[in-house]
Amino acid sequence: MDIALPLQLPHFRPRFPWVNAHLQMLRTAMCGRLDLSRWRSVPLDFPMADGTGDALTGTLTLPPADTGQPLCILIHGVTGCENSQYLIATARQLLRAGFPVLRVSMRGAGRGYGRCRENYHAGRWQDLAAVLDQIPTRRGVVLIGYSLGGNILLNLLGALGPDPRVRAAITISAPLDLGATSRRMLLPANRPYHNYLLRKIAAECLASTGMTPELRQAARTARSFYEFDDRVMAPRYGFRDADDYHHRNSGQHALPRIGVPTLLIHAEDDPWIPCDAYRSFAWANNPRLQAVVAPAGGHVGFHADCGGTWSDRCILEFTAPLQRRKAGTEVRRAPVRERRLLAA
C-alpha cells in the first residue's frame, strides 16, 4: 500500500519538566541506557567501492516474527553513531510495530571510528546509496535521518528521484540551510553545545587515517564550525571554501527533486536549526513532501506528554500504511487535535 499525503498527525505537547527547547535536548541526552537485547541483532559491514578501503558499519535488528514489512534504516546526526540513544529509542518502537531495523554508523563513526581513511560529511549521500546497493530491497526500505543525517538523507533522495526501493522517508530536525545553522550555533546560548560538538567533530577527523599534517593542524586549531568547515572539510573534500561547502550540500536544494513520500519533522523553537528554510520552501510544488513543524520540541527532542517521543509517533503514523495487520483488523490512527503544517 502506498502512503498518501497529506497526512494528519497528532499535536505535540511537551512532557513536564522538559518544558523548553534546551530541556528537550537535554532529555534526549539523559534518557538512560536503552537497549535492544530482547531482539536478535547482527553486526554488518558495508565496504565502500571508492578505493579508500573504508567501510560503513551497522547493526540489523529483527522482530520476533517475519512480518514482511520494509526494512527501516536509521541514520544518526553529527558525532553520533548506530548506538545513539535516539536511534535505539526509535528502533524499539519500530520493532514493536514489526519492522526490521538497520542502524547505520556513517563513515568513521561507531565501529568505524579510527578505522576509516575518510569521514562522513553533510553532502556524502553516496555512502548511503552504497548501503542501499548492498542490501536486499525486495520489500523496500524506509529511510529515517536525524539532524545532519537527515540532511544527508535529503541529498540522497534528491539524487535518487523516484526509486521503487524507497517506500518512504522521514527526517527529524534536519538542517535545510547549513550556512544559517552554522551562524545560529555561534549565538551565546549555543556556545556550550558548539564547543562540545566542535571538539567531537575534530576528534572524529583526527582519528581517521587520511588527514594530512596541514589538515590535522587546522582541525586542532579551528575555533568555530565555520572555521572548521573552511579549513578542514572544504579543502579535504574538494569545495572552494566553507560557503561553497554549505551551499552545495544544504538539503533544501534537493527538495524539488525528491520523488518518494517524505515527511520532514521540525520544531519552531529548535535552538540549533533555524526554521526559515522550512517556512520559505514552496511545499505545495512537490506533492511527495510534507513538512510538520511543531511550535516546540527542541532539537531531536519532542518528548511528549503521551510518553515516548512525538517524532516516533509521527514515524509510526506515517508508516502505518506499510504495517501489516491480521486479516479483518485496521490500523488505528491517533486522534488529531491541533496541528501545524507548513504549506506554500
Give the distance, in angstroms, between the CA of residue 207 and the centroid of all CA atoms in the same chain.
23
Average pLDDT (98-106) is 98
pLDDT on residue 281: 96
Asked whether residue 100 carries a pLDDT value surpassing 70, the answer given is yes
The confidence band for 2, taking pLDDT boundaries of 50, 70 and 90, is low
Q: Please tell me the distance from the alpha carbon of residue 220 to that of residue 325, in angstroms, as a whole number.
A: 53
- Taking the CB of residue 256, how many other CB atoms lie within 10 A of it? 12
Average pLDDT (170-190) is 96
The amino acid that residue 46 corresponds to is F
Q: Please tell me the distance from the alpha carbon of residue 340 to that of residue 61, in angstroms, as a whole number.
A: 34
55 with 45: CB under 8 angstroms? yes
pLDDT on residue 340: 39
Asked whether residue 16 carries a pLDDT value surpassing 80, the answer given is no
84 φ, ψ to 5°? -60, 140
Mean pLDDT (the chain) is: 89
The confidence band for 166, taking pLDDT boundaries of 50, 70 and 90, is very high
Asked whether residue 312 carries a pLDDT value surpassing 70, the answer given is yes
**What is each CA distance from 129 to 42, 55, 56, 148, 289, in whole angstroms?**
21, 13, 12, 16, 20
Q: Please tell me the distance from the alpha carbon of residue 5 to that of residue 262, in angstroms, as a whole number.
A: 9
**Coil vs helix vs strand at 19:** coil
Average pLDDT (258-276) is 95
The confidence band for 326, taking pLDDT boundaries of 50, 70 and 90, is very low
246 with 178: CB under 8 angstroms? yes
Q: Please tell me the distance from the alpha carbon of residue 76 to that of residue 103, in angstroms, as a whole number.
A: 8
Instruction: Name which residue leads in pLDDT, 339 or 177.
Output: 177
Q: Where are the beta strands (DSSP E) in the chain?
A: 40-47, 55-62, 71-75, 101-105, 141-146, 166-172, 262-267, 289-294, 341-342
* Model pTM score: 0.92
**What is each CA distance from 273 to 177, 188, 277, 287, in whole angstroms?**
8, 15, 9, 24
105 with 82: CB under 8 angstroms? yes
Span 37-85, pLDDT tens digits: 999 999 999 999 999 999 999 999 999 999 899 999 999 999 999 999 9
216 φ, ψ to 5°? -65, -40
Average pLDDT (305-321) is 87
pLDDT on residue 31: 63
Place of cell 537497549: 35
- In 3D space, the residue among 117, 186, 105 whose CA is nearest the CA of residue 146 turns out to be 105
**What DSSP designation does 321 have?**
G
Asked whether residue 213 carries a pLDDT value surpassing 90, the answer given is yes
Domains in the chain with CATH codes: 21-176+255-342 (3.40.50.1820), 178-249 (no CATH)
**Percent of the chain whose pLDDT exceeds 70:** 89
Span 108-146, pLDDT tens digits: 999 999 999 999 999 999 999 999 999 988 899 999 999
